[in-house]
């Protein structure tokens, strides 16, 4: 009999804590050593006592989606009685 009884029978892939995904854009890690050092500082040197993060390197041809326009409801002043 297992010590960690799960009454719902969920697999461990569902019950683990998710990692935040952080994409890094604009680093040329193959040609520039400073960019490679920055990438390694973020992605490879994570201690286990820190918050779990998942870094992904995005290519320079990656297109960011367009920013949404801020929408403000129109202000309709109510008639005032004087």
Say which residue, 43 or 74, is predicted with more confidence.
43
Q: Is the pLDDT of residue 82 over 70?
A: no
Whole-angstrom distance, CA of residue 1 vs CA of residue 66: 53
How does pLDDT run across 9-18, given as a tens digit for each residue? Answer: 888 777 777 7
pLDDT of 63 above 80: yes
pLDDT at 1 over 50: no
Domain ranges within the chain, ordered by starting residue:
18-57
Q: Which tens digits make up the pLDDT trace of 6-47?
A: 677 888 777 777 788 888 888 888 899 999 999 988 888 777
């Amino acid at each position: 009999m297992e010590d960690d009884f799960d009454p719902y029978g969920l697999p461990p892939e569902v019950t683990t804590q998710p990692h935040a995904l952080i994409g890094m854009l604009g680093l040329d890690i193959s040609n520039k050593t400073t960019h490679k050092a920055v990438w390694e500082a973020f992605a490879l040197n994570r201690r286990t006592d820190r918050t779990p993060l998942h870094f992904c390197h995005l290519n320079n041809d990656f297109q960011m989606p367009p920013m949404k326009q801020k929408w403000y409801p129109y202000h309709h002043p109510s008639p005032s009685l004087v």
